[in-house]
């Protein structure tokens, strides 16, 4: 099973309606995650030192990663407003990994405050940008700025499941699931030796959330190799 949720999604710029849709999905995903985390914290049941579903990551690391990811998106958006092209993580993959590792021993109070502040700053950047600008450097390559909100939705949705705090693939917004499956099915098909190969029947028979789990390396299907998209 892969531990990441980064796919290089470059291409033509999205329409303003599509960007607005993705911002709405992102805002809703933020709210759902923070509501669940806060409820567990209030009940003293948020054990952030416990292992997540990501091999080698505890919950504090996943939450810290979500905060640093939000910071990176905000940085790129703010840079676009100044006509700059900025890296998502200054220093690249090593900086990203350092940010994840820095969360390993943090308390629930620390990681929740960090994530809440990072989300607030990112959503403020979303509301103040005009979404114009050239490609911006993410960990997987240059990405048109208008595609950043959907990439953020992916991070929050999938890592929310990875946290193992009661959020499952079946709980994800059906619109996000449909959009994500469409994107990842195209990537999977394009990478097959014959090109544009249909998904295996065993995968096509799965319900959409479970199919998304297979495409993102979070669900195994008997007799079918991993999707290998992530």
- Asked whether residue 201 falls in the same domain as residue 133, the answer is no
- Rounded Cα distance, 9 and 168, in Å: 24
Residue 136 has what pLDDT? 66
Query: Which ranges of the chain would DSSP assign to H, the alpha helix?
Result: 16-42, 59-81, 93-101, 108-128, 148-162, 174-190, 201-204, 208-215
At 72 the pLDDT is 92
The token pair at 206 is 């799965």
Same-domain pairing of 50 and 163: yes
Mean pLDDT of 76-86: 87
91: three-class secondary structure by DSSP: coil
Give pLDDT tens digits for 142-194: 778 899 999 999 999 999 999 999 999 999 999 999 999 999 999 999 888 87
Over residues 14-28, mean pLDDT: 96
Between 20 and 192, residue with greater pLDDT: 20
Residues 6+ positions from 163 with CB-CB distance below 8 Å: 52, 53, 59, 62, 63
At residue 39, the 3 state secondary structure works out as helix
pLDDT at 77: 92
27: domain CATH number is: 1.20.120.450
* 223 within domain boundaries: no
Residue 158, SS3?
A: helix
Structural domain boundaries enclosing 205: 180-215
Average pLDDT, stretch 45-49? 96
Mean pLDDT for 214-228 is 97
Q: Classify residue 193: in a domain, yes or no.
A: yes
DSSP state of 8: -
Task: Say if residue 208 is in the same domain as residue 107.
Answer: no
Whether 131 is in a domain gets the answer yes
Give residue 85's pLDDT: 83
Overall number of domains in the chain: 2
pLDDT at 126: 96
Q: Look at residue 138 in the predicted model and tell me its pLDDT.
A: 61
Q: Are residues 97 and 193 in the same domain?
A: no
What's the CA gap between 10 and 175, in Å, rounded? 21
Degrees to nearest 5, angle at CA 208 with 162 and 194: 100
Q: What is the pLDDT confidence band of residue 55, given thresholds at 50, 70 and 90?
A: very high
- Give the pLDDT score at 123: 98
Tell me if 152 is assigned to some domain.
yes
């Amino acid at each position: 099973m892969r531990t990441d949720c980064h796919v290089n999604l470059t291409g033509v710029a999205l329409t303003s309606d599509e960007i607005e849709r993705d911002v709405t999905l992102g805002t809703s995903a933020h709210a759902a995650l923070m509501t669940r985390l806060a409820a567990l914290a209030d009940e003293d049941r948020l054990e952030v030192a416990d292992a997540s579903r990501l091999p080698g990551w505890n919950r504090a690391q996943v939450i810290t990663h979500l905060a640093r990811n939000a910071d990176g998106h905000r940085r790129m958006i703010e840079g676009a407003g100044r006509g700059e092209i900025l890296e998502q993580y200054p220093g690249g993959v090593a900086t990203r990994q350092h940010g994840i590792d820095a969360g390993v021993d943090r308390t629930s109070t620390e990681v929740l405050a960090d994530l809440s502040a990072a989300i607030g700053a990112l959503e403020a950047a979303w509301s103040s940008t005009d979404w114009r600008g050239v490609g911006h450097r993410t960990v997987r390559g240059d990405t048109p700025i208008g595609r950043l909100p959907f990439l953020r939705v992916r991070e929050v949705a999938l890592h929310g499941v990875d946290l193992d705090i009661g959020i499952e693939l079946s709980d994800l917004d059906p619109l996000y699931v449909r959009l994500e499956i469409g994107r990842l099915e195209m990537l999977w098909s394009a990478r097959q030796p014959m090109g544009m190969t249909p998904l295996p029947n065993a995968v096509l028979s799965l319900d959409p959330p479970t199919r998304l789990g297979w495409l993102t390396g979070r669900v195994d299907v008997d007799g079918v190799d991993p999707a290998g998209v992530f």
